[in-house]
Structure 1
Amino acid sequence: MTWVEAIGWLGAVLAITGSAMKTIIPLRCIGIATNIVSLTYATSMGLYPSMVVNLILLPLNGVRLYEMLGLIRKVKRASNSDLSMSWLKPFMARRKVAAGEILFAKGDAATCMFYTLSGHYRLRELGIELPQGHVVGEMGFMSPDNKRTQTLECVEGGEVLSITYDEVRQLYFQNPEFGFYFLRLASERLFHNMERMEAEIVRLRSEAPAARQLEDAVSA
C-alpha cells in the first residue's frame, strides 16, 4: 500500500467516524481533519471536484467550530454573572417594531423568543415594562403546550432580535452549558413572578381588614 492509498483510507475512516459523532464540536473537529486528509489525497490523485469540495468545507467547518467554542466560553462566563443573553445575538435575526405593535398575545402558539435592542415594551397582563437589553418570550419554550402566557406590546418603536425555538433546541441539546444557562434563566423568571405574586397576596391581605372596617362603619 502506497502512502497515497493510506491517506485515502484514513480519510474514509475519519468520514465514518464523523458520521457517528453525537455532539457538534467533536463532529466539527473530525470534519476539519477529514477535509485536510481528503484534500491531501485529492491533490495527490488530481481529483479536482473533491479538491474544490474540501476547499469549501474546510473553512466552513473551521468558522462553525470557532463560533460554537466562542458561544460556550460566553455561556460559561454568563453563568457566573447576570442573566444577559447578549452573547446570543449572532444566532438571532433582527427586525424593526413599531409603537403599538403586538409581538405576541396571550394564548398564541409560541415559536420564538426575543431580545430587545432598542425601544420599550410591556407585558400587558403583568404591567411590567421591559427596557433595552432584555430577553422575553422564553417561557413559551418551557410551557407544555408552547402557548404564550403574556401579551407583549411595543410601547416605543425600536428593534428586536429573535431566535426560533427550533434553533434554541439545537443549541440546548448540542451544548450542556447552554442548557444549564437557559434553565437558570427560566427559573429566575419563575422565582421573580412568585415573589411578585406573594407580594400582591400580602398587599391584598393587609388591605382586607381596612376594607372590612370601612364596610362596618358605612353599615353603622
Structure 2
Amino acid sequence: MPSSADMSTTLDRILDAAADNLRIAKILVQMGLDPNNVTYDAIYNRLLEIFLHNITLANMFALVGAIFFVATLLTQTMVPLRVANMIGCAFFAIFGALTGAITTFLLYLLMVPINAYRLRQMLVLVKKARNATKGDTSMEWLKPFMTERKYRKGDVLFKKDDVANEMLLTVTGTFLVTEFGLEVPPGRLMGELGFLTPDNRRTATIECIEDGHVLTITYEKLLEIYFQNPQFGYYFLVLTSQRLLENLARAESALVQIKSAQQPAAASGKN
C-alpha cells in the first residue's frame, strides 16, 4: 500500500497541475489564493474565511428558506408541503427585504397568500369529507374541483358497462337510474361506484328526465386529491361506502314492495 507521504506528494502534484490550468488559476486568484503556492490547508482556511465573512442576518434567512424549500421536495403529501412552502417563501421574502432585492421580496411575498389559499382549500376539503362520514352526505364541497355540464330531457349520461372515467354531482334537474327505476334528485352523487370497480365500468344506466346540469370530476383528479392528502381518500371511501349502503337499502325496499304487490295477486289467482 502507498505510504501517507506518497499520498500527500500525489495530492500536491494534482494541486500543482490544477494550478497550472489557466481557468483554475483565475478561480484561485478570485478566491484570494496564490496559484503558485496552493495547499489543501490554504484552500480550507480560505473557504472557512469566506463562509464566516458571509454570515449575515439576510443570508441566515435565505439559508432557512432554502432548508424549507428542500423540505417541500421531500414531502409526499400536500398539506405539509404547502406549510413548508409558505414558511420558506416568508424567509426568502425577508431575505429580499434585507438585501434590497425588490423583485425577490415581491415574488416570495406574493407566493405566501397563494400557498395559504391552497392550504385552506385542502383543509376545508378534508374537514367537509370528515363531516360527511358523520351524517352529512352532501358532496357540494367538491365543487371547486369540478366542471359544469348541461343535459336535456332524454339525454343518456352513460349506459351500464360503459367505461367510467368521471363522477357526477347533480345540481338541477332529475335523472333516472333505468335498471332500478330510481330517480336521482339534485344534490346527489352519480358514477362514484365506477371509480371503485376493478375494471372502471358503469354499474347502471343514467338518463335525464328533466332538463338540468351536473358537476363532473374525473377519476384522475380524484386520485390526485387522494395522493395529495391520503386522509381525504379515507373519508371519501367511507362516504362512497355509505352511498353504496343507501343504494342497497333502496333496492331491498323496492324488492319488498314488489313481493308485497305479488302476494295479493297470487292469492287471488288461487281463489
State TM-score, norm by structure 1. Answer: 0.85
Q: Hey, what does 1:22 align to over in structure 2?
A: 76
Return the alpha-carbon distance in structure 2 between the equivalents of residues 48 and 72 of structure 1.
37
Q: 1:143 aligns with which of 188, 194, 197?
A: 197
Unmatched segments (≥5 aa) in structure 2 = 1-54
The one-letter code of the counterpart of 1:11 is: G
Offset from partner CA, 1:122-170 (integer Å, 9 cap, x none): 1112211001111111011001011111111111111211111112112
Show the counterpart of 1:11: 65
Residues 39 and 164 of structure 1: is their aligned pair in 2 closer, same or farther, counting only changes over 3 Å? same
Alignment-derived partner of residue 171 in structure 1? 225
CA deviation after TM superposition for structure 1 residue 189, in Å: 3.2
1:60 paired with 2:60, answer no
Pairs within 5 Å for 1:114-133: 114-133=168-187
> Greater CA deviation, 129-138 or 178-187?
178-187
- Report SS of the residue matched to 2:186: coil
| Percent identical residues | 38
Larger RCO, structure (CA 8 Å, separation 6 or more): 1
Look up the match of 1:134.
188
Q: Report the CA distance between 1:75 and its aligned residue.
A: 2.2
* Count of residues paired in the alignment: 216
Cα offset, 1:178, TM superposition? 2.5
Moved over 4 A (4+): 196-199, 201-214
- Structure with the greater alpha carbon radius of gyration: 2
Query: Structure 2 CA distance, aligned partners of 1:121 and 1:202?
Result: 22
Q: CA RMSD in A?
A: 2.7
CA apart distance, 1:51: 3.0
- Whether the 8 Å contact between 1:121 and 1:152 is mirrored in structure 2 is yes
The CA distance in 1 between the partners of 2:268 and 2:98, in whole Å, is: 95
Question: Are 2:159 and 1:105 equivalent residues in the alignment?
Answer: yes
Displacement of 1:114: 1.0
SS at 1:133's partner residue?
Answer: coil
Q: CA deviation at 1:65?
A: 0.9
- Distance verdict in 2 for CA 1:208–1:106, change over 3 Å: same
Partners of 2:247 and 2:170 in 1: CA distance: 20
- Inter-partner Cα distance in structure 2 for 1:164 and 1:128: 24
Q: Which residue of 2 aligns with 1:42?
A: 96
1:76 CA displacement: 2.4
SS state at 2:148 partner: strand
Moved more, 1-10 or 198-207: 198-207
Structure 1 runs not aligned, ≥5 long: none
User: Conserved in 2, the CA contact under 8 Å of 1:76 and 1:177?
Assistant: no
Q: Distance in 2 between matches of 1:192 and 1:74?
A: 20
Supply the AA of the counterpart residue of 2:125.
Answer: L
Take 2:155 and 2:258, find their aligned partners in 1: how far apart are those partners?
Answer: 33
